[in-house]
Amino acid sequence: MSHFAVVPGAAVSSVLAEAHQDVLRIVADTYLAHEQGHTVNPDSYFLRFPDKPNARVIALPSYLGAGVDTIGMKWIASFPDNVKEGLPRASATLLLNDYATGYPLACLEAAGISAVRTAASAATAAARLVTGTEPVRLAVIGAGVIARTIVDYLHAAGVRVADVLVHDLDATSAGHLSEHAKARFGVPVAIGTLDDALGRDLVVFATTAATPYVPADTALRPGQVLLNISLRDIAPELLLRCNNVVDDVDHCLKAQTSPHLAEQLTGGREFINGTLGALLQDDLTLDPDKPTVFSPFGLGILDLAVGHYVLREARRRGTAVEIPDFIGETKRW
């Protein structure tokens, strides 16, 4: 009980590189556990800075039962200006605690964990929402780490793709993601405009946009699926013409997300059809004559579940750094 483990980034990456199917299963199971009331997932806490208005650090505390019985907190920094220096936008750590005693168990480098849980969430939704027998025409708006990881997880989830269009304001990033998507899917990939992207069957938003830029009068069509991963790209008026699926209603309708703006616009939440957990339980019916938008705020329980798995695997492989006698006092008297 006095021991503590540190799992560095290289060890985390090694586990996750071979774990796509496991992560997809874990994420789906965690959504179901949340839907069934086996979690505690309070509000995320935002730390902002007057002289860096586009930067933030977020704390996501959570508890997951359902056989995991672990407490955790992800502490994730998002500093978009890092991109100008060739650095990743996000960095993160994950702290795990034992549910029986509350004692700390481990600290994991968690940027990769955060990326894969986000991507697995998107892919899980896409695999359920995309209908029809033909491969979809995919567009990815935003070409960073999250977009790259979503491409990997769409492939792992078996979403069949006919071709890919990439749109990003940074041509270098768009080029990198285009090559990655071509290697992953083995289909034609092009770089195109926002208008071109918005016409695709499956549209992924993975940007750092702070306010909506997709116009309210954008023409969408029945059956089209939009994965609103970055949450603030789409005009709220446009959401009102769509089916809307979220990860958690209370979490998603805050912090000036597009669904939150839609709630402010209408004064209610009637435009929300339900949650991904309900969809996975076949408890959610959507209007086939509308496009569907999936907006996940990002639940700390997903980081906790994936981190719990990574810790177990790293210990099994001997790549976790064990710190004996981390707890100073193990007896009350």
**DSSP string covering 212-278:** --B-TT----TT-EEEETTSSSB-HHHHTTSEEEES-HHHHS-TT-HHHHHHHHHSS-TT--EEHHH
Looking at the fold, whether 144 and 283 belong to one and the same domain comes out as yes
Looking at the fold, whether 152 and 276 belong to one and the same domain comes out as yes
Looking at the fold, whether 69 and 149 belong to one and the same domain comes out as no
330: in domain: no
Looking at the fold, whether 140 and 252 belong to one and the same domain comes out as yes
205: in domain: yes
Each residue's pLDDT tens digit, 66-88:
889 999 999 999 998 998 898 88
Number of domains in the chain: 2
CA distance 299 to 43: 9
The secondary element (H helix, E strand) that includes residue 171 is: helix 171-185
Looking at the fold, whether 164 and 271 belong to one and the same domain comes out as yes
331: in domain: no
Domain encompassing residue 182: 131-295
Looking at the fold, whether 266 and 281 belong to one and the same domain comes out as yes
Residue 92: other Cβ atoms inside 10 A:
21
196: in domain: yes
Looking at the fold, whether 284 and 194 belong to one and the same domain comes out as yes
333: in domain: no
State the average pLDDT over residues 97-108.
95
State the average pLDDT over residues 292-315.
97
In this predicted structure, the answer to whether residue 100 has a pLDDT above a threshold of 90 is yes
232: in domain: yes
Residues making up the chain, counted from first to last: 333
Give residue 1's pLDDT band: very low, low, confident or very high (50, 70, 90). low
Please report, for the domain that includes residue 284, its CATH number: 3.40.50.720
Please report, for the domain that includes residue 20, its CATH number: 3.30.1780.10
120: in domain: no
Tell me the HSE value of 163 on the side-chain side, using a 13 A CA sphere: 10
Looking at the fold, whether 194 and 244 belong to one and the same domain comes out as yes
Looking at the fold, whether 187 and 234 belong to one and the same domain comes out as yes
90: in domain: yes
Residue 215 token pair: 């116009």
Each residue's pLDDT tens digit, 42-60:
999 999 999 999 999 999 9
In this predicted structure, the answer to whether residue 2 has a pLDDT above a threshold of 80 is no
State the average pLDDT over residues 101-127.
97
CA distance 104 to 239: 42
Looking at the fold, whether 87 and 167 belong to one and the same domain comes out as no
Model pLDDT, residue 132: 82
Looking at the fold, whether 207 and 90 belong to one and the same domain comes out as no
Looking at the fold, whether 104 and 138 belong to one and the same domain comes out as no
Model pLDDT, residue 84: 86
Of 251, 217, 255, 252, give the one whose Cα is nearest residue 234. 217
